[in-house]
Amino acid sequence: MTQKKFYYVSISGKRIEPEPSINDQLTVVGTSEQISELQQQLDQIQRDDEITQFRAPIPYKSADHDQATDKFNEDLIKVYHTVYELGTDETRAHIRQMNILTKLQDTDYNYPGYER
């Protein structure tokens, strides 16, 4: 059985560290395999983020319902779910307080032209 250890996750920085720092971090407890999977998820949102940057300067194209943006949001939700599952009580409480999982799934665009 692999031993679980504490790790410190910076979602905005897309990295996992073995020691806490002054950056925005969430504390998780996991095996090396679980942490490796989480790092792969963080790497994926980094790639997604780079793709969305290419279309960002186009002034007439809305980012809503854009495939690249949708993919980024889906992958970000996966990261937060994983962090929530591996998180300490404090981390889970913080994610619940953020209400990020529900917020990213419901963009609240019910106006004409925003249909899929």
Q: What is the pLDDT of residues 74-89, one digit of tens each?
A: 999 999 999 999 999 9
- Nearest 5°: CA angle at 46, between 40 and 15? 60
56 touches 76 (CB < 8 A): no
Query: What's the rounded Cα separation, in Å, for the pair 14 and 45?
Result: 8
Share of the chain above pLDDT 70, in %: 76
This prediction's pTM: 0.78
Report pLDDT digits (tens) over 37-52.
Answer: 999 999 999 998 888 7
pLDDT, tens digit (0-9, with 9 covering 90-100), for 5-22: 999 999 999 999 999 988
**Residue 82 and residue 41 in contact, taking contact as beta carbons nearer than 8 Å:** yes
On the CB side of 59, CA atoms within 13 Å amount to: 0
